[in-house]
Amino acid sequence: MKKLLFVVSLCVLAGPAFAETTLDAPAAQCRELLVKRCQSCHYLERVCSKVGKKSERGWKATVKRMVKRRGAKLDASEQSTLVECLATPTPSVLEECKVSGGGRP
């Protein structure tokens, strides 16, 4: 009986943590794109200085220009994810900017 109670308790406690991880997947992907793709050509300070300030339309034009004229390696899905998270940044993106010296709290 104690083992069953332990297993049930573990499942109840692990459920919210698993859900949080699953829900945060787009944020993790955005953070990864920011670090691996944007930072390959720019200091993050340059990108971070405009995170949350530039409109979605503005970011879409910027990302499109980076792909077309500068050869950024982003497929259509990655471009869409990046535009969305730069226009409306998640806490993990804001944290990456703060840690990397992007100047955003």
- CATH architecture, range 26-99: Orthogonal Bundle (1.10)
Predicted local confidence at residue 99, as pLDDT: 63
Q: pLDDT class for 101, splitting at 50, 70, 90? A: low
Q: How far is CA 36 from CA 7, 8, 10, in A?
A: 39, 40, 36
- CA atoms lying within 13 Å on the CB side of residue 73: 5
Q: Euclidean distance between the first and final Cα of the chain, in Å?
A: 49
Q: At how many degrees (to 10) do helices 25-33 and 76-87 cross?
A: 100
Predicted local confidence at residue 94, as pLDDT: 83
86 compared with 92, residue with greater pLDDT: 86
Which sequence spans correspond to the domains of the chain? Answer: 26-99
Compute the mean pLDDT over every residue in the chain, rounded to the nearest whole number: 75
Q: pLDDT tens, 22-61?
A: 446 777 888 888 888 888 888 888 888 998 889 999 999 9
